[in-house]
Structure 1
Amino acid sequence: MLIIIHSETNQHTITQNLGRSEYSYYFVLKEYRPVLERLGQVIEVSDPQAEVDALYFDCLARGEDCVFLSFSPPHRTPVHLACPTLAVFAWEFSTIPNEPFAGEPRNDWRTVLRASGAAITHSSYTVNAVREAMGADYPIVAVPAPVWDRFAARGAQLQRQPLANQVTLKIKGLVADSRQLDLQAFGPAHLRTGEGIDFEAPASEHELVLDGVIYTSVFNPSDGRKNWEDMLSAFCVTFRDAPDATLVLKLTHHDAEEALADILHHLYKNQSYRCRIVLIYGYLADADYERLVEATSYVVNTAYGEGQCLPLMEFMSCGKPAVAPRTTAMLDYLNADNAFIIDTTDELTAWPHDPRRAFRTLRYITNWASLCTAYRASYEVAKGDPERYSRMSAHAVASLKNFCSQATAEQRLKVFFADLIETRAVSALETPET
Structure 2
Amino acid sequence: MLIIIHSETNQHTIAQNLGRSEYSYYFVLKEYRPVLERLGRVIEVTDPAREVDALYLDCLARGEPCVFLSFSPPHRTPIHLACPTLPVFAWEFSTIPDEPFDGEPRNDWRTVLRACGAAITHSSYTVNAVREAMGADYPIVAVPAPVWDRFAARGAQLQGQPAPTEPLMLKIKGLVADSRQLNLDAFGPKHLRRGQGIDFTAPVSEQTLLLDGVVYTSVFNPGDGRKNWEDMLSAFCVSFREVEDATLVLKLTHHDAEEALGDILHHLYKNQPYRCRIVLIYGYLADADYERLVQATRYVVNTSYGEGQCLPLMEFMSCGKPAVAPRTTAMIDYLDAGNAFVIESTDELTAWPHDPRKAFRTLRYVTNWASLCEAYRASYEVATRQPLRYAQMSAQAVLSLQGFCSQAVAEQRLQSFLAQLFEHRAMLAEEAPGP
Is the pair's TM-score, using the shorter chain for normalization, greater than 0.5?
yes
Partner of 1:227: 228
Q: Deviations over 1:213-234 (max 9, x none)?
A: 0000001111110000000000
**Which amino acid in 2 is paired with 1:375?**
Y
In structure 1, the gaps of 5 or more residues are none
Partner of 1:362: 363
Aligned runs of 1:381-420 on 2, under 5 Å?
A: 381-420=382-421
Partner of 2:277: 276
List structure 1 segments (4+ residues) > 4 angstroms apart after TM superposition: 160-164, 190-195
Q: Deviations over 1:101-136 (max 9, x none)?
A: 000000000000000000000000000000000000
Q: Deviations over 1:314-371 (max 9, x none)?
A: 0000000000000000000000000000000000000000000000000000000000
Q: Could you say if the C-alpha distance between residues 352 and 164 of structure 1 is closer, same or farther in structure 2, counting changes exceeding 3 Å? A: farther
Deviation at 1:191, TM superposition (A): 8.8
CA distance in 2, matches of 1:245, 1:202: 31
CA contact (8 A) 1:201 1:256 kept: no
Most deviating of 153-162 and 401-410: 153-162
- Residue 206 (str. 1) matches residue 207 (str. 2): yes
CA distance in 2, matches of 1:292, 1:83: 43
CA contact (8 A) 1:144 1:308 kept: yes
Aligned runs of 1:285-434 on 2, under 5 Å?
A: 285-434=286-435
Q: Deviations over 1:361-419 (max 9, x none)?
A: 00000000000000000000000001100000000000000000000000000000000
Partner of 2:259: 258
CA distance in 1, matches of 2:28, 2:85: 17
Note the aligned Cα RMSD (angstroms): 1.4
CA distance in 1, matches of 2:195, 2:10: 34
Q: Could you say if the C-alpha distance between residues 301 and 191 of structure 1 is closer, same or farther in structure 2, counting changes exceeding 3 Å? A: farther
Partner of 2:44: 44
- Residue 147 (str. 1) matches residue 115 (str. 2): no
CA contact (8 A) 1:342 1:374 kept: yes
Partner of 1:30: 30
Q: Deviations over 1:238-263 (max 9, x none)?
A: 00011100000000000111100000
Partner of 1:131: 131
- Residue 68 (str. 1) matches residue 89 (str. 2): no
Q: Deviations over 1:41-61 (max 9, x none)?
A: 000001100110100000001
CA distance in 2, matches of 1:378, 1:110: 43
Deviation at 1:194, TM superposition (A): 11
Deviation at 1:309, TM superposition (A): 0.1
CA distance in 1, matches of 2:194, 2:433: 72
Q: How many residues align?
A: 434
Deviation at 1:19, TM superposition (A): 0.2
Deviation at 1:170, TM superposition (A): 1.1
CA distance in 2, matches of 1:280, 1:71: 28
CA contact (8 A) 1:299 1:312 kept: yes
Q: Could you say if the C-alpha distance between residues 287 and 45 of structure 1 is closer, same or farther in structure 2, counting changes exceeding 3 Å? A: farther
* TM-score normalised to structure 2 length: 0.98
Partner of 1:15: 15
In structure 2, the gaps of 5 or more residues are none
Q: Could you say if the C-alpha distance between residues 124 and 53 of structure 1 is closer, same or farther in structure 2, counting changes exceeding 3 Å? A: same
CA contact (8 A) 1:226 1:302 kept: yes
CA contact (8 A) 2:171 2:206 kept: yes
Identity over aligned pairs, percent: 83
**Which amino acid in 1 is paired with 2:44?**
E
CA contact (8 A) 1:143 1:409 kept: yes
* TM-score normalised to structure 1 length: 0.98
**Which amino acid in 1 is paired with 2:104?**
E
Deviation at 1:206, TM superposition (A): 2.3
Most deviating of 29-38 and 200-209: 200-209
SS at 1:173 equivalent: strand
Deviation at 1:295, TM superposition (A): 1.6
**Which amino acid in 1 is paired with 2:410?**
A
